[in-house]
Structure 1
Amino acid sequence: MTATIQDAARPFSGTALTALVPPSTRLLGLGEPTHGVDAFPELRNELFRHLVEEEGYRSIAIESDCLSALLVDAYVTDGIGTLDDVMARGFSHGFGASPANRELVRWMRAHNAPCPPSERLRFYGFDGPLEITGAAAPRQALLALRGYLAPHLAPDLDAALNDDATNDALDALLGSDDRWTDEAAMMDPARSVGRTREARELRLIADDLGVLLAAHAPHLTAVTSADDFWRAELQARTATGLLRYHAAMAGTGPTRFDTLVTLRGAMMADNLDAIVRREARRGPTLAFGHNRHLQRDESDLRLGGRSARWWSAGAVVGTRLGDQYAFAATTFGSRGADVPPADTLEGIFSTLPHDRAVIDPGRLATLVEGKPAPRVPADHTYFSLDPSAVEQNDAVVFVKEI
């Protein structure tokens, strides 16, 4: 019997997907090829339920603001706040409007209600407080970090920083948040405050506060809690990451956009790394975001007529975790009149009988004759699979029509 593409595919299910990832996996990345299409987060919800109920997963991290996500986590773990409020304030990128995200949060809260605290599912954001149009001010992260340290390290804080990190001093250096969040700075470096004297001083202060946090970890975890200390580390990473990002926004070199997406990827990778370490004793984590943020191969993007290349969060964290990181890319066939040509991967996958399929990239390579052509989508917000890099994925999830 001649082998065909069907021999590399199975109907989508959680079991079919996890059969392709290493048993050592601690972080499973599930990508989506475009944002704003609920078919992909709906598929994610189905997978996450399977992972929780059958595979021992206890957390999910999505491509959303890591600080805002604390509100969502407080709701799903302890019932703090209301569903409407956390959907409005707990997500970035407009993701709070997604019905699938709302259903995820509702289901997690219902699942957690009867569980003891140690078994409750946790919700994380792994993106920085960043949007495609700019970045947040570092105020929230810096003041929260200082507020955590001050009651327990007052003498060390004053000696290390010479009163430069009092709330009043930080307020004076920060100025108005509008200066930091000016969207015009994304395209006009002259509008950025990231390389002003005040910003440079804030970067030194953030670094010093982070060192104090790390150096006094044994004392701080004893007098507060491991969870409080973890959140303080998150604030420290975010403060330094935002100040670094704002400095890059003020840059004028030819690789400015490459630097910005590289820094964002590094922030994402650090957050994912910290989540995996925090969850190590509880179970693996599902990460959900754009394919470009979770793939192992080098990512590329065109923005405002300019192109950028960078190593994504998945590529970076994958080098740290080794076979503890697995990645499943998602793609689709038809979207209205946008039908993939027959000689593309998406065109080949469209011949499968399944509406949703899980494909083994290793077997796929032996079954496809020649080199498939890259798909050129009609929709610029969709990024097709790179045929030359598909074997770097542990699995491919295909949705025939959206």
Structure 2
Amino acid sequence: MTGAIEDALRPLDAATVTGLFPSPPRLLALGEPVHGQATLLALRNALFRHLVEQEHYRTIALETDCLRASLVDDYVTGGEGTLEEVMEHGFSHQWFNVSEGNRALLRWMRAYNEGRPAARQVRFAGFEAPLEEYGAASPRQALTLLHSFLAARVAVERLPCTAEDLDTLLGEDGRWTEPGAMMDPAQSVGRTKKAERLGEIAAELAALVAEAAPGAAEAVAEAEREEWDLARRHGRTAVGLLRYHHWMADSSPSRVGRLLGQREAMMAGNLLALAERGPVLANGHNGHLQRGHSSMRMGEELVQWPSGGLAVSERLGAGYGVLTTLIGTLRHRDVGVPAPDTIEGVLHALTDGPSLLDARRLASAVEGLGLVHRESEWYGYSPTNPDQLGRSDAIVFVGEVVEEIAGDAAEEAVQGEG
């Protein structure tokens, strides 16, 4: 049986990745089982660079705030400001804005774009909603910018409210961002009459953008088309955030599953919108990008929700490709050698990686071995259930993940010429 797995091992390079598919997927996602690790980020950077240069992908999307990401996109396409300013203000989540791997990615993107016409530049995007572990953002930014955008372009009688009405309904932002609301639904304002009215307004504004926006065949300047794309993003975010706040105020047993499912739906909406404008490379957690449902146990209850990747796959079909990363050791987090009866243990015994395996061939090769789901020695790392290998198109295996890795070593780890 191990011989069949060894035969399936391939080098991790752009040509081998795209060779898994009849044609390069419009949206190719690289998942990771743990965030913020230098080894994985360096491998991502090298692989994405090769895919941009060899397969002409034109957007790189990360699991970070879709609204803040506009600052990053401005920078990599030659805008003003410093890299440190962009790192501080252009990313959400604590592991993104302190990451040397992300700094290196932005430096390369800006250098790649220098001197290239806009149509050939590689763009940056975020596909995460404005959410953090401790709560959700106020819908103010998305709603007010969306309203202002439309007020300058459509007749006033088509707007569902005035800017003053909107400001009154929103109230103080602290009401929306109250940290206690994450654990106590009674502290959320998501089901007040004002919040319900805001939800109606958000839906009307988003529908108005869809109605008024120029069609794909219309001859408009690229800058104008991007303005409308940004308006759509604000519309999706406003509607999604208000739904998220609605479920934060829910006291039923389904509350957690609804919140997690809403987050995934917002991620999927952003990824699908990006794929409409051209080929996309995405990087985020395995759980968000996989086809299928995610789950977690809360006490005696198993909570399940559809992943963002499931919704994307249902819409794009063969146009969506998923690479799931598995790791062997993460010693600086006390994650040692995996047990031999786990999929990580089987692969760790055969290769140091980084290696690429066809996921369905691997699933067939290990069927009947009685493999079990690896126990996570650290809360920040999520092993892969061997029963779910078929949810991906390929497995990327990295034997040892270290805290720091030299850039040259990372480049050599991913085969192929840039």
CA distance in 2, matches of 1:258, 1:321: 25
Partner of 1:242: 241
Partner of 1:326: 321
After superposition, what is the alpha-carbon deviation per residue over 1:90-141, rounded to whole angstroms, capped at 9, x for unaligned? 1111211110011111110111011001111110000110112110000000
Sort the Cα spacing of 1:143 and 1:400 in 2 relative to 1 into closer, same or farther, 3 A. same
Partner of 1:53: 53
Sort the Cα spacing of 1:51 and 1:311 in 2 relative to 1 into closer, same or farther, 3 A. same
Contact map agreement 1:11 1:354 (CA 8 A) in 2: no
Among 284, 288, 304, the alignment partner of 1:309 is 304
Partner of 2:173: 177
Partner of 1:213: 209
After superposition, what is the alpha-carbon deviation per residue over 1:228-269, rounded to whole angstroms, capped at 9, x for unaligned? 111000001101110110011000010100000100111011
Contact map agreement 1:21 1:395 (CA 8 A) in 2: no
CA distance in 1, matches of 2:113, 2:373: 43
Contact map agreement 2:59 2:124 (CA 8 A) in 1: yes
Partner of 1:269: 268
TM-score normalized by the length of structure 2: 0.90
After superposition, what is the alpha-carbon deviation per residue over 1:173-215, rounded to whole angstroms, capped at 9, x for unaligned? 1111111111110000011011111111111111111122122
Contact map agreement 2:59 2:280 (CA 8 A) in 1: yes
Partner of 2:342: 344
Q: Give the secondary-structure state (helix, strand or coil) at the position aligned to 1:350.
A: helix
Partner of 1:299: 294
* C-alpha RMSD of matched pairs (Å): 2.0
Contact map agreement 2:67 2:130 (CA 8 A) in 1: yes
Q: CA deviation at 1:16?
A: 2.5
Q: CA deviation at 1:307?
A: 5.0
Partner of 1:287: 282
Partner of 2:108: 107
Letter in structure 1 aligned against 2:75: Y
Say yes or no: does 1:123 pair with 2:124.
Answer: yes
Sort the Cα spacing of 1:304 and 1:82 in 2 relative to 1 into closer, same or farther, 3 A. farther
Contact map agreement 2:338 2:374 (CA 8 A) in 1: yes
Q: CA deviation at 1:15?
A: 2.5
CA distance in 2, matches of 1:364, 1:194: 45
- What is the 5 A alignment of 1:3-402? 3-94=3-94, 95-157=96-158, 160-161=159-160, 165-218=161-214, 225-279=224-278, 284-302=279-297, 307-336=302-331, 337=334, 338-368=336-366, 369-402=368-401
CA distance in 2, matches of 1:314, 1:35: 18
Q: Give the secondary-structure state (helix, strand or coil) at the position aligned to 1:36.
A: coil
CA distance in 1, matches of 2:2, 2:172: 68
The answer for unaligned runs of 5 or more in structure 1 is none
Contact map agreement 2:10 2:357 (CA 8 A) in 1: yes
Contact map agreement 2:352 2:400 (CA 8 A) in 1: no
CA distance in 2, matches of 1:274, 1:13: 27
Which of 363-372 and 144-153 deviates more? 363-372
Contact map agreement 1:333 1:340 (CA 8 A) in 2: yes
CA distance in 1, matches of 2:138, 2:156: 28
CA distance in 1, matches of 2:197, 2:365: 58
Q: Give the secondary-structure state (helix, strand or coil) at the position aligned to 1:193.
A: coil
Sort the Cα spacing of 1:304 and 1:54 in 2 relative to 1 into closer, same or farther, 3 A. farther
Contact map agreement 1:371 1:387 (CA 8 A) in 2: no
Sort the Cα spacing of 1:230 and 1:30 in 2 relative to 1 into closer, same or farther, 3 A. same
CA distance in 2, matches of 1:191, 1:244: 16
Contact map agreement 1:249 1:256 (CA 8 A) in 2: yes
CA distance in 1, matches of 2:140, 2:108: 33
Q: CA deviation at 1:36?
A: 2.3
Sort the Cα spacing of 1:155 and 1:16 in 2 relative to 1 into closer, same or farther, 3 A. same
Letter in structure 2 aligned against 1:201: R
CA distance in 2, matches of 1:373, 1:271: 34
Contact map agreement 1:3 1:367 (CA 8 A) in 2: no
Which of 239-248 and 6-15 deviates more? 6-15
Sort the Cα spacing of 1:399 and 1:190 in 2 relative to 1 into closer, same or farther, 3 A. same
Contact map agreement 1:61 1:287 (CA 8 A) in 2: yes
Q: Give the secondary-structure state (helix, strand or coil) at the position aligned to 1:78.
A: coil
CA distance in 2, matches of 1:249, 1:112: 42
Letter in structure 1 aligned against 2:191: R
Runs of at least 4 residues off by over 4 Å: 219-224, 302-307
Sort the Cα spacing of 1:372 and 1:169 in 2 relative to 1 into closer, same or farther, 3 A. same
Contact map agreement 2:363 2:386 (CA 8 A) in 1: no
